[in-house]
Amino acid sequence: MDDSIDARSVARAILSAILIVVVHSAIYMVIMRYEGRLELADPVNAVYWVIMTMTTVGYGDIVFRSHVGHIFSIVVSLSGIVLVFAFVLPGLVTPWFEHLGRELPERVPEWLSNHILICGYGPMVERLTERLDEMGMQFAVIESRESVARSIFKKYMTVWGDPSDVQVLRNANISTARMVMVNYTDEINADIVLTVREVSDVEIIAMVEDLRHSRFLSYAGASRVLSPKTMLGTFVAQISTPSCGGCVFPGAVQLFGTLSLAEVPVFPGSPLAGRAISDPMLIHTGAAIAGIWKRGEFTPSPSGSVLLSSGTVILAVGNSEQLMRLRSLGAGDEGRFLVIGYGDVGQRLVRLMCEHGIRPVVVDRRDLATDRFEHVVGDGYSEDALIRAGIKDASCIMIMLNDDHDAIYSTLVARNMNPDAFIIARANHLPSTEKLYRAGADYVASVPMVASKMLLNMVTPESEDLTILYEGLELRRYEVRRRSPMAQRTLRELALIERFGCAVVAIDRAGDAILSLSGETEILPGDVLILIGPPGSVDRFTRDFGDGG
């Protein structure tokens, strides 16, 4: 039966009907005694008369003679009609028939080919499926859990069945698929990979929960094994580490030539705090400010009068030297680096920090026998454990707990104990991101967002010049052709932020990089624009101006 027809709803409907029958039966017996007809004033006759009247059968073998009895008969009849049409039909009968007419699909159309098969729907692939659907790319989801399959089959092409079953794979046109992604537990993923390899040599991308299991999935036949948690740990280390010892700027996305786009946090004590974007200190770095993040709110192309503050994350464009100059200004005072949670993400994060000469303090429930870093045993939201870890002296707090509820509470505690620290929090589910920002996080690193970025980069055709950034922003390179409606118009005339919510952050003009953009900047034929905006905004831009003219 459909999930909407749950046991509680049925129980409530039955109890309500019983209560109404009992009340009406009691009133029936009172009225019969009032009329002096004691031979009919017993519980059996009462229940019989009430049910016959409520269901509008009305045999007429028992009738009241008084006006009070007649009025009561009308009330009982109307209550029966209300019960049937307001509760029974819409709450039970209608959903039952709808359920009968909504059988879950067990195969895809025969014409489907060159498609992506996603085995297992969940948070890790939720954003990916949304983006593939927006891009019009062919894909199908194989889902063994009925409740999950029912929640998505009207939105996406779905096959209800066990993806480790050969026939289910054949029903999903495995022979003509171009890629298979597996997204269950590591043990189930291994079973699915082995089954796929029985019938196809298609490319298999396996998502791994525990990095130690990677080699087993590879042995099973996976073409590539991805660990979003490990990638997330790497990214958080890149964001939080003030200095990389001259390495390539961490977390940067290459644009063109030597230019890259990178996120630069403003830590407590940074000389950038309280300065306007037009301040000479920022201008002298040579990097251009493409946008700023403040507690999850993104402002593209901010005006020069906007003030920076501790906790702001700058989205900057420049070469490695320019970005490193800006990063050194954002580093601020030296202080403790506190890592809360030492799971897969925390371990990767701590290892990279130690490699860069930073010895963080780790808070974890387990007793970690190591001398590589200082360790405090305790819960990540325990004030006592956090005080022992020196939270009040921390400049950066990285909350890498595996449970989102724990992460949210830990963020609330950490922000209350250290209002000035730069807090990076991990989210395992996209809906938790906003809650973590409200709890006080300055930056939220989402596992599903990292997973969608990794997967989308693998499945997107090379001609699709699109990059997904970690905070959900999309970046696209757009070539302005000779007949483009953008040519010979200024950025102010185009009003991209107002119309689409996206902005031009850099222009490649015949090999020359233009970073100093203003409303008077004119767009010329042949320019390559670097556009950035939230999901969907760049698509709206493309629909208006065409694919490159």
Return the number of other C-beta atoms located less than 10 Å from residue 47's C-beta.
15
Percent of the chain with pLDDT over 70: 89
Q: What share of the chain is helix, strand, coil (3-state, %, to 5)?
A: 40, 20, 40
Angle, helices 228-240 vs 344-355, to 10°: value is 40
- What pLDDT, in 10s, does the model give residues 256-298? 888 888 888 888 888 998 899 989 998 898 888 888 888 878 8
C-beta of residue 363 within 8 angstroms of C-beta of residue 340: yes
Which residue has better confidence, 75 or 100? 75
- What pLDDT, in 10s, does the model give residues 482-538? 888 888 889 888 888 888 888 888 888 888 888 888 888 999 998 988 888 877 787
Residue 98 has pLDDT above 70, yes or no: no
Amino acid, res. 359: R
Mean pLDDT of 104-124: 91
- Residue that has been written with the tokens 């505690």 in this structure: 413
For residue 472, the surrounding DSSP H or E stretch is none
C-beta of residue 447 within 8 angstroms of C-beta of residue 231: no
The tokens of 213 are what?
């299991």
For 520, counting Cβ atoms within 10 Å of its Cβ (0-12 exposed, 13-18 middle, 19+ buried), the class is: exposed
C-beta of residue 479 within 8 angstroms of C-beta of residue 528: yes
- What pLDDT, in 10s, does the model give residues 507-519? 888 888 888 888 8
Q: How confident is the model at residue 74 (pLDDT cuts 50, 70, 90)?
A: confident
Amino acid, res. 486: M
Amino acid, res. 382: S
